A and B are shown apart, each in its own frame.
Chain A
Amino acid sequence: MEKNYMKLEFLSKSSNESFARVVVAAFASQLDPTLEELSDIKTAVSEAVTNAIIHGYEYGEGIIILEAKIIDDEIEILVEDKGMGIADIEKAMEPFYTSKPNLERSGMGFTVMETFMDSLEVESKKGEGTKVRMRKKFKSLSSKE
């Protein structure tokens, strides 16, 4: 069984959105993903990190924790913040729902994560923070075996 793990902590600055997705893409590249698979996980990571910045910390300063685990041909990504938490997860996950309509957000963040990854779990406690866990299997690797 192939196993690998990484953990990264960074400030909740919007300039770190590209940093986070580049890191995950570089880590995932050992699974020899297709361009589309790579672009899917980059997009999902970008959405989760953006949520942590805008909603978790509401543009304030905080730490975002990014973890990635590889087990065989699957990657598991965790994006965690210690921010304000989500009051109503079900509502937050509805397509096109945004708690900040004045910001011109599309309300598609969770929908993108759900669509581009194989699974999505959101754990949140008001006042304590949010954990977003996503998994994706890389078909390119299994098809070679």
Chain B
Amino acid sequence: MSSVEQQIRDAARQYLENGVYCVTGYERGPRGKVRPAFIYQASDVDRLVWGPECDLNLVNYVHQFKQPLRRGEPPPKVAVVVRPCDARAINLLVHEQQIKRENVKAIGVACTGATPGDPERQACQVCHERVPVTYDTLVQAEGEAGAPPAQDNYTDIVDMENWTPRQRLDYWLKEFDRCIRCYACRQACPGCYCFECVAEQVDPHWTSIALELPEKYFFHVMRAFHLAGRCVACDACEAACPMDIPLSQLNRKLAKEVEALFGYHTGEDPEKAPPLTTFNPAERLPL
């Protein structure tokens, strides 16, 4: 057990002994895979583990605890183990009035950045945060933190922008063709919490129920737009996808646009609201 794991377990125990209803972290399943774990009792905290394979965004699960457990009670307090990228989603959800900050205890695990040998994730290659922007308990590995990366110049996205529109369309249609429209990406996303998704709305019936290329294309592009300025770049969607579709590329393209237009990075500043959820009459965008 690493010192990080010990610190996570200690924090979880603390919270559970002090009125927190559930701690969401990671455990190791019988096949050795890590997976989200829901700890309700202090005696169970030793199930919690930590490692580079912990690649979902557990803030996603706080939506399950937004409602009171019993009528008339306030919603339960919960604790969540978060990486710096995941923590940005807490700020997002506070801004969007989905959660009250005091109801979610963040056990923030400082990141050492992309380490050679770890699962390769584009987000980690360019992420510039080592310590979560918001946390209630900070968990840090002993020794020095990894060197912060150079500024994200979106070189991968610029490459794609230099393709012809035809090349881009061909590339994405090929990727989307593999999609089975299982919605794992949407379900793994802390920002996708609509009661009724456009892709499944019955009235109006925006899109066909067919699991075919036009619907997959529509779904992914629609979802990317709905996450413009809201995506926290945790890449949980890509991690959840059973068909390995490079969804982070789509999200990064829109993040680049939002950065250029508004100088905004989602969830980074708890004081700054997402540009697409605010209205500023003085705003003039180059068209």
**Is A bound to B?**
no
Interface residues of B (CB under 8 A from A): none
Interface residues of A (CB under 8 A from B): none
